[in-house]
């Protein structure tokens, strides 16, 4: 009888320890997941700021005489593609949705870069205060985007490292899709090739 009570007591202790460990692991994953979601919201916020600046930039550029229409149309179309995406908190958990979001944003960045390069041929446009202000705001926003993407990648890395470490890698799938591996922002395709400069 004493042995039975000792065995039962030992079993209860083991169950309590395992339960506490599972609760601690779950809470750690929740904390890291919330960090990723918070950083994702920051990324969305700076991308939205850029999207809000673009109509003013396009309107300013349209006013320039002889400005290449195809350039600002490309920016407007790229912005429209970004606007058509349905994004939300689940995007970092869905590699396909994340890749689609990232590709659309990279396309918009490319169109904006091309627009700003073409503007160099229009000194009168560059000299207007409205364009100069918008360009400064866009450059600042692009810097914020780079910083927020880096911070998101760090939060995703911390989550993924914890999630993929033993024994958490065994426990994480028990809690469903919430704790799937987070995607990372990567450089745009072709960015590994340096641009050709001709004089």
Whether the predicted pLDDT of 183 surpasses 70:
yes
Whether the predicted pLDDT of 19 surpasses 60:
yes
Flag whether 166 is in a domain. Answer: yes
Flag whether 40 is in a domain. Answer: yes
Flag whether 190 is in a domain. Answer: no
Flag whether 69 is in a domain. Answer: yes
Q: What is the pLDDT of residues 84-102, one digit of tens each?
A: 877 766 788 888 888 889 9
pLDDT at res. 28: 92
Burial bucket for residue 163 (CB in 10 Å: 0-12, 13-18, 19+): buried
Cα Rg of the chain (Å, integer): 25
The pLDDT confidence band at residue 43, using thresholds 50, 70 and 90, is very high
Burial bucket for residue 154 (CB in 10 Å: 0-12, 13-18, 19+): middle
pLDDT at res. 66: 65
Flag whether 188 is in a domain. Answer: no
Flag whether 197 is in a domain. Answer: no
pTM of the predicted structure, to 2 decimals = 0.82
Flag whether 141 is in a domain. Answer: yes
Flag whether 81 is in a domain. Answer: yes
Q: What is the DSSP string of 20-67?
A: HHHHHHHHHHHHHHHHHHHHHHHHHHHHHHHHHHHHHHHHHHHTSTT-
Q: How far apart are CA 110 and CA 89, in angstroms?
A: 25
Query: Residue 28 in contact with residue 165, Cβ under 8 Å?
Result: no
Q: How far apart are CA 105 and CA 178, in angstroms?
A: 25
pLDDT at res. 46: 94
The pLDDT confidence band at residue 198, using thresholds 50, 70 and 90, is very low
- Return the CATH number at 83: 1.20.1440.20
How many domains, in total, are found in the chain?
1
Q: What is the DSSP string of 139-177?
A: HHHHHHHHHHHHHHHHHHHHHHHHHHSTTHHHHGGGG-G
The pLDDT confidence band at residue 195, using thresholds 50, 70 and 90, is very low
Q: What is the pLDDT of residues 135-176, one digit of tens each?
A: 899 999 999 999 999 999 999 999 999 999 998 898 888 887
Q: How far apart are CA 164 and CA 146, in angstroms?
A: 26
Across all residues in the chain, what is the average pLDDT?
85
Between 188 and 26, the higher pLDDT residue: 26
Q: How far apart are CA 182 and CA 37, in angstroms?
A: 10
pLDDT at res. 65: 59
Domain of residue 124 covers 2-179
């Amino acid at each position: 009888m004493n042995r039975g009570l000792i065995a039962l007591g030992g079993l209860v202790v083991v169950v309590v320890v395992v339960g506490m460990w599972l609760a601690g692991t779950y809470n750690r994953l929740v904390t890291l997941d919330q960090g990723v979601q918070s950083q994702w919201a920051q990324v969305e916020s700076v991308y939205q700021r850029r999207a809000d600046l673009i109509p003013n930039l396009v309107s300013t550029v349209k006013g320039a005489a002889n400005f290449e229409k195809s350039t600002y149309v490309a920016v407007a179309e790229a912005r429209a593609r970004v606007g058509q995406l349905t994004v939300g908190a689940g995007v970092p958990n869905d590699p396909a949705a994340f890749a689609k979001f990232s590709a659309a944003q990279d396309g918009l960045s490319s169109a904006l870069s091309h627009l700003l390069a073409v503007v160099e041929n229009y000194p009168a446009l560059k000299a207007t205060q409205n364009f100069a202000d918008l360009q400064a705001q866009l450059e600042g926003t692009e810097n914020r985007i780079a910083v927020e993407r880096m911070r998101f990648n760090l939060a995703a890395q911390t989550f993924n490292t914890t999630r993929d470490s033993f024994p958490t890698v065994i426990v994480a799938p028990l809690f469903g899709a919430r704790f799937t591996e987070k995607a990372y922002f990567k450089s745009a395709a072709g960015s590994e090739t340096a641009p050709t400069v001709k004089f």
